[in-house]
Amino acid sequence: MRIRARSIYLFMTALVFCGLALAKEAILIVYVTDADGKPVEGVVLSIEGDDSRSDPTDSAGIMRMALPKDTRPGDWIHLQLLKGAEGNENWILISPWNGRVLMPPFDGKPDSFVSVVAAKKFDKRMLANPKALRAMAESVLYELAPKTASETITEGQRRAVLEEVAKAYGLDPGDVDRAIGTWAEKAEAPYEIGLAALYARNYPLATGQLSRSLEIREGELERNKTEAANAAFFLGQSLYNEVRYQESANAYRKALALRPTDDMIINRLGVALTQAGILRAAWNDNFE
């Protein structure tokens, strides 16, 4: 009954705000919960690179935000917790792990809103929460790929990235590393198994599971563009570490087609193409 009531609330809220959007400007509705699915009240979101900010979430975890005028359904935007806002200090976004969300249609339907998950910093319960651990693994792995063709990731870099992510969550790096290992043993879905294997540097297993995950998500692309982009991105990373540069580039191309404004994907694609000899060959053909 509680879930039904919340769905009705979201629906009516979306209808009202849709009317506002048609009259004045596009409005984004965001539903914020914690890792246990409970509404989070009092947090404020903003869009990276824009001056807009949301109202604080209400007791049902709902907030609204005016969007930049050129925003269209299907665009990617980067949500973040507004720094310095009262009530935001002890919260961190964990889903989506990178803050990137796909804009829904502005049609007032029940699914015309975005759901995000936030977690309290310094909360050691996150070390046993699958959603939080998945987000931590994604955040670490996102940074652990060469950004140039000549770069090799060192153990020191791995530790530094783990420490940075753990600090963002207010947790101990060693505790985070061990908790991700425990989470990996319990993972069942192909994406989680592949992600855990990539974290453990078991690249053949990671490639196989992430390939399977991407196939599943591509089959349901309209509902899973975010998940498909993530699977393609981390598949590209795993293939790169297996020295399968051409296949890595192909995976990054799929990720870029789904998330065309992501600079990190563009960078990784360029590195993979360079290692595959494609960019080098093109340069030689044109300038030698």
- Is the same domain home to 131 and 58? no
In DSSP terms, 66 is beta-bridged to: 27
Range list of H helices, the chain: 2-23, 130-143, 155-169, 173-186, 190-199, 203-218, 225-241, 245-258, 263-276, 278-287
- Is the same domain home to 31 and 173? no
> Is the CB of residue 10 less than 8 Å from the CB of residue 110?
yes
- Is the same domain home to 190 and 260? yes
- Is the same domain home to 112 and 132? no
Which residues lie closer than 8 Å to 221 by C-beta, 6 or more apart?
A: 228
- Is the same domain home to 77 and 164? no
Determine the 3-state secondary structure of 94 from DSSP: strand
- Is the same domain home to 30 and 71? yes
- Is the same domain home to 158 and 81? no
- Is the same domain home to 141 and 280? yes
- Is the same domain home to 133 and 111? no
Q: How many domains, in total, are found in the chain? A: 2
pLDDT given for residue 3 in this prediction: 46
pLDDT given for residue 204 in this prediction: 97
Question: Domain boundary residue among 85, 120, 155?
Answer: 120
pTM of the full structure: 0.79
Q: Name the residue range of residue 274's domain.
A: 124-284
CATH code, domain with 152: 1.25.40.10
Question: Domain boundary residue among 67, 99, 120?
Answer: 120
- Is the same domain home to 95 and 203? no
- The rounded distance, in Å, linking the Cα atoms of 74 and 93 is 21
CA 198-254-239 angle, to 5 degrees, is 30
Instruction: Please report, as a single letter, which amino acid is at residue 224.
Output: N
- Is the same domain home to 116 and 128? no
In DSSP terms, 33 is beta-bridged to: 39, 117
DSSP 143-171: H-S-SSTT----HHHHHHHHHHHHHHHT-
pLDDT given for residue 130 in this prediction: 93
pLDDT given for residue 179 in this prediction: 97
pLDDT given for residue 151 in this prediction: 87
Question: Domain boundary residue among 96, 120, 144?
Answer: 120
- Is the same domain home to 161 and 279? yes
CATH code, domain with 106: 2.60.40.1120
pLDDT per residue as tens, the chain (288 positions): 444 455 544 544 544 444 434 434 678 889 999 988 899 999 999 888 777 788 899 999 999 888 887 888 888 889 998 876 676 778 999 999 889 988 887 665 544 688 999 999 999 999 999 999 999 999 999 999 888 888 889 999 999 999 999 999 999 999 999 999 999 999 999 999 999 999 999 999 999 999 999 999 988 876 788 899 999 999 999 999 999 999 999 999 999 999 998 999 999 999 999 998 865 554 455 444
Backbone angles phi, psi at 150, to 5 degrees: -95, -5
Which residues lie closer than 8 Å to 169 by C-beta, 6 or more apart?
A: 92, 119, 121, 122, 126, 132, 136, 176
